[in-house]
A and B are shown apart, each in its own frame.
Chain A
Amino acid sequence: MHKALRLVQLCCILIGSLLSSVASATGLQYNMTRGVTPVSHAQYDLHMTVLFIVTAIGVLVFGLLIFSIFRYRKSKGAKAATFHENVQIEVIWTVIPFVILMVLAVPATKTLIAMEDTRKSEMTIAVTGYQWYWHYEYLNEDISFYSNPATTAEEIAGLVPKSGYYQLEVDKPLVVPTNTKIRFAFSANDVIHAWWVPALGVKRDTIPGFINESWAVIEEVGTYRGQCAELCGVRHGYMPIVVEAITPEEFEAWVAEQKGGLEEVIEESEA
């Protein structure tokens, strides 16, 4: 048993290193992002745990199958055994998976409860899905704007070279502070959309007439990209999301600038 476990471990390491070397050689991303929030870290850890467990089970089951396929060939003179039931072993392979599931349920439950706890949030952003763009409103800050896809029709048609963030760029990103518990309040204006930014570990349906919640504490400064993740009509594939996380100080300056800009506009229109 111990040997078998070691073998499984070895295989996992081998496959893992093979994949990562292929990926680093080609720049391909093939695994879930670890992300930049406590929730996305927990999701990633759970993903890797369950991936490890199913890989181990897979090695055992497939190992037995492959062994049997090569060992028990009629062409090599194999004679079929006559056993066709064994209560003991059947109980064992009913109980063991059950135990494994209970082990998996613990971190899954903990993470789920944490994910749903939007209390003590320090700011709220209302996200509204439209066909086919997003609207962001910073509650209590009097800031709101639309965020439209910025990939051009020429790029899509292949008339000009595609930019590096093809289909993942917007005219005005959502700007948020790092190390702040941000509560998102999701809704939609027409059909159901889903606001998904993998690095934040947030994917929530935005439903017309209803409000959904989620939250994120972004731990690193950076630009994080995502897309709409619920079929919402013709241009569902063209509904990118860009989140720009900056330090709280920079964010305060950004807020002031937005408000200043707004006041200037109002003054101009009054004048």
Chain B
Amino acid sequence: MGDHHHGPAKGLSRWLLTTNHKDIGTLYLWFAFIMFLVGGAFAMVIRMELFQPGNQLVSPNTFNQLTTMHGLIMVFGAIMPAFTGFANWLIPMMVGAPDMALPRMNNWSFWILPFAFAILLSSWFMDGGAPNFGWTFYAPLSTQGPPSTDFFILSVHMMGISSIMGAINVIVTIFNMRAPGMTLMKMPIFCWSWLITAFLLIAVMPILAAAVTMLLTDRNFGTSFFDAAGGGDPVLFQHIFWFFGHPEVYIMILPAFGIVSEILPTFTRKRLFGRVSMIYAIVAIAGLSFIVWAHHMFTTGMPVIAGLFFMYATMLIAVPTGVKIFNWAATIFRGALTFETPMLFALGFVFLFTIGGFSGLMLALIPADIQYHDTYFVVAHFHYVLVSGALFSIFAGAYYWLPKWTGTMYNETLGKFHFWLSAISFNITFFPMHFMGLAGMPRRIPDYALQFADFNRISSIGSFVFGLSQLLFLYIIIQAIRGKGKKATDEVWDDHPRGLEWTLSSPPAYHTFETPPSEKLVEEHH
């Protein structure tokens, strides 16, 4: 034949059998968005129940199932797959490679996910209902969990396999398939952030697998890892879980750092400030993530020396995180700014993630944390870093690269509308949670004392607006995919954005960079 420029297969088999990084990226992103809507729907029911004191809508058990499933779906189903979707679409196009290094494994890593989440979600319909012990599934509460817990364990194993394979693919692609002349230090910062993320994934997903396996044998095979009566230790579970869990938190934020660091230079028309220190900061944050896990456990009772160690190590994270924020601010300083939707979301990220960073520093201080721990202050904190952090960066990235992917500009007016609705309603939802927590409202409760009623009502109203706003995002994307809008140019954005992806056509051919870009092109675009 000799014709390498073939297009995609037709029909369903295109998606089932695809080994194309763009198709797989698209699958990941759609899967993540569907899971985002499902997890969001659970959150809406939670906020409806909390709209006023008393028990109105769902039983306390259902409430616990909702908080558990909301957390699991958002962490493993929405945020992580969305970033993997970006990695698939972008890393080959950014490093000048024809595809991911291991395309067939790539297909498998994606197609595990729908089954994993089908198993997880089917637990709603099982005897005893869905898992109800929080996404952190602390033992021994989870040891005594409903029968569906074993299905939850299976689905976590599947997610872990998927994540590890995805991570291997990213590392192999970045190490072996960069275009000639693209040294690691010239590689786009999004690829850097994902490279580090991939190492974190490979390091900690097996730990999560160990935690769920120990839980499985405790539940079914008579072991007592987490049962004091059999010589085990319930707190051991928390150590293992958070040894996974804290790096996991950075797995969900490092790619966000990468996306924002790609977007800000384009719309400030400046180079990213302190690129090298940005990379070092990512590496430092990733390194520190392994020695701070017990800051999630300050109330479990640990030796003073251990407490001091984890407190100091946690406080230390503020330094590289601060460097990143200052560098972004310096990138914006004396630029030539325009405010397209990706820029708005990136700026929203910088502002609101910083607030999450502030509360993070507060939470690091053990004496104060004794009062913050397991209250709505913590809920506020991690939604500032995960929603206005990770999720806003995903929105920013989606708007930024969508015209490249589809060849059509999204509706800018609606995009801006989506940003302002999201940003304002996000703050209405989550800022009052700081107050609720400080005033003494524990998290994960279906009902509360009367003094918390006003803030909860405000928060619920904000959340409904936030939830509905995301349907607007769905509409905007579909319109762009259907080609309803201005034709995007190859560079998409004014004033020559950097990055090899902008040297391709919009939309790009099904196979790109079958011959690597020239060293000259790489040099011009780094």
Contact = CB atoms under 8 A, between A and B. Distances in A.
Q: A40, A162, A230: which has the most chain B beta carbons within 10 Å?
A: A230
Contact of A212 (B61, B301, B374): B301
Given A31-B438, A105-B315, A168 B449 contact: yes
Nearest to B438: A32
A43 B370 contact: yes
A163 to B, nearest CB: 9
A203 B370 contact: yes
Interface string A54-85: 10011001101100110011110011111111
Contacts of B445: 227, 236-237
Interface stretch (B29-37, B51-59, B115-123): B51-59
A240 B55 CA distance: 16
Contact of A33 (B275, B354, B440, B450): B440
A80 B447 contact: no
Given A26-B454, A61-B329, A228-B442, A112 B366 contact: yes
Contact of B374 (A198, A207, A229): A229
Interface stretch (B96-104, B130-138, B422-430, B503-511): B130-138
Contacts of A90: 274, 277, 323, 327
B374 A74 contact: no
Contacts, number: 280
A156 B389 CA distance: 36
Contacts of B141: 191-192, 231-233
B358 A79 contact: no
A145 interface: no
A112 B271 contact: no
A198 B368 CA distance: 11
Interface in A131-146: none
B277 to A, nearest CB: 5
Tell me if B's interface is mostly helix, strand, loop or mixed: helix
Contact of B455 (A28, A93, A111, A226): A28
Contacts of B438: 29-32
A192 B367 contact: no
Contact of B368 (A28, A46, A162): A46
Interface string A143-171: 00000000000011110001011111000
Given A158-B56, A229-B442, A237 B447 contact: yes
A48 to B, nearest CB: 9
Given A158-B54, A198-B440, A209 B358 contact: no
A162 B235 contact: no
Contact of A112 (B274, B311, B316, B322): B311
Interface residues of B, number: 90
Contacts of B373: 194, 203, 229
A93 B365 CA distance: 21
Contacts of B301: 186, 204-205, 207, 210, 212-213
B269 A80 contact: yes
A94 B323 contact: yes
A22 to B, nearest CB: 10
Contacts of A32: 368, 371, 438-439
Tell me if A's interface is mostly helix, strand, loop or mixed: mixed
A231 to B, nearest CB: 5
A16 interface: no
Nearest to A29: B439
A74 B454 CA distance: 43
Interface in B470-510: none
A30 B439 contact: yes
B315 A50 contact: no
A166 B337 CA distance: 52
A104 interface: yes
A61 B326 CA distance: 8
Given A80-B268, A101-B318, A227-B442, A203 B371 contact: yes
A269 interface: no
Interface string B247-288: 000000000000000000000111111111100000000000
Contact of B54 (A64, A89, A156): A156
Nearest to B138: A192
B315 to A, nearest CB: 5
Contacts of B304: 112-113, 116
Given A30-B439, A112-B304, 11 more contacts: A26-B454, A43-B368, A47-B368, A61-B326, A115-B370, A186-B301, A204-B299, A207-B234, A209-B234, A236-B60, A237-B60
Interface of B: 53-56, 60-61, 63-64, 132-134, 138, 140-141, 144, 227-229, 233-235, 268-277, 299-301, 304, 307-308, 311-312, 315-316, 318-319, 322-323, 325-327, 329-338, 347, 350-351, 354-355, 358, 361-362, 365-368, 370-371, 373-375, 435, 438-440, 442, 444-451, 454-455
8 contacts: A28-B435, A30-B439, A94-B322, A112-B304, A167-B447, A201-B370, A228-B442, A236-B445
Closest 6 pairs between A and B when the two form their complex, measured CB to CB? A209-B228, A237-B445, A84-B271, A54-B358, A30-B435, A212-B301
